[in-house]
Amino acid sequence: MLQNDIAISVEGLKKSYKSVAVLKGVDFEVKTGSIFALLGSNGAGKTTIVKILSTLLKQDSGNALVNGFDIVLNSDSVRQSISLTGQFAAVDEILTGKENLIMIAKLRHLSKPVEIAENLLIRFGISDAADRRVSAYSGGMRRRLDIAMSLVGDPQIVFLDEPTTGLDPEVRIEFWKVIKELSSNGTTVFLTTQYLDEAEHLADRIAILHEGRIVVSGTFLGLKKLFPKSKVEYIEKQPTLEEIFLAIINKKGED
């Protein structure tokens, strides 16, 4: 049952847009139930990898298996196993939050779509806004609905393409909790991010994509070892702006 231990395996993936080679031979593996973070600067090709693995885009060469299925030969089975949350919240603004979730549940051919929708609304704390049109939602609420839509039907592998870009710090940390929960329930999470702290907080394994190749990959501790031994220095610990912000917000919430 070796195959089931590996949720995603990628071998020699290449992709060019016209004459620009974006991916020049990408290899990596993601273990089932783990959180895998793909790091890279803007334009490094992170989104291209996500699009190829979620069957939206065809690679020029190389192979990839997702949940044991070939992404080209068996794309239907791949789509059964995954969900994709893109960089921008792909929610229907004219429908209500609940209608959005019911729509996805119906498209996934699940029984009891209304019940599924209601449970997810509660889980993501948007049940108060369930019957409001999404155009009236705040950015954070949209993103939460977006993720909730991706979890309809409990896909085994969840692709999140820069999921926290543009989120305020509070929502971001809330979001991290959701990801950890998913992974502890056995869902594989594939995440791209530009934020190093996000990868550090969440990921079991980190891979860095640079100039079309994975330049390093490993656990955070493993990556740390690549650097020269740390010097011990004593400094006064200053609170970060994030800590200050959160402290103030939380105090307000308690009043």
Partner 1 sequence: MKTTNNYFLNDLSVMVGRSMRHTFRSLDTIITVTIMPLALMLIFVYVLGGAIQSGSDNYVNYLLPGVLIIAIANGIGYVSYRLFMDKQRGIFERFHSMPIARSAALWGHVLTSLVSNMISLVVIILVALIMGFRSDASIVSWLAVFGILIFFTLALTWIAVIPGLSAKSVDGAAVIAYPIHLLPLISSAFVPTETMPGPVRAFAENQPVTSIVETVRSLLSNQPVGNEIWIALAWCIGIMLVAYFFAMGVYRKRM
Confirm or reject binding of residue 99 to partner 1 (CB under 8 A).
Answer: yes
| Interacting span for partner 1 (CB under 8 A) from 102-110, 170-178, 198-206, 214-222 | 102-110
Give the one residue of 8, 35, 36, 79 binding partner 1; rule: CB under 8 A.
79
Task: Give the nearest distance from C-beta 95 to partner 1 in angstroms.
Answer: 6
Backbone angles phi, psi at 43, to 5 degrees: 80, 10
Give the one residue of 72, 73, 90, 136 binding partner 1; rule: CB under 8 A.
90
Closest CA to 207 of 221, 220, 225: 220
Q: Output the CA torsion 240→242→247→250 (10° steps).
A: -170
Residue spans of alpha helices (H) in the chain: 2-5, 46-53, 75-81, 97-107, 113-123, 139-151, 169-184, 196-202, 220-225, 241-254
Task: Give the nearest distance from C-beta 150 to partner 1 in angstroms.
Answer: 8
Confirm or reject binding of residue 16 to partner 1 (CB under 8 A).
Answer: no
Return the residues of window 118-157 that contact partner 1 according to CB under 8 A: 133, 149
Confirm or reject binding of residue 55 to partner 1 (CB under 8 A).
Answer: yes
Tell me the per-residue interface mask from 152 to 191 with partner 1, x by CB under 8 A, - otherwise. -------x--------------------------------
Give the one residue of 34, 54, 187, 192 binding partner 1; rule: CB under 8 A.
54
> Could you give the CA distance from residue 22 to residue 56 in angstroms, rounded to a whole number?
16
Give the one residue of 2, 19, 42, 109 binding partner 1; rule: CB under 8 A.
109
Sign, CA dihedral 98-100-102-108, equals: negative
CA-to-CA separations, 80 to 7, 71, 134, 209, in angstroms, rounded? 13, 12, 26, 27
**Which stretches of the chain bind partner 1, using CB under 8 A?**
51, 54-56, 76-77, 79-80, 82-84, 86-95, 99, 103-104, 106-109, 133, 149, 159
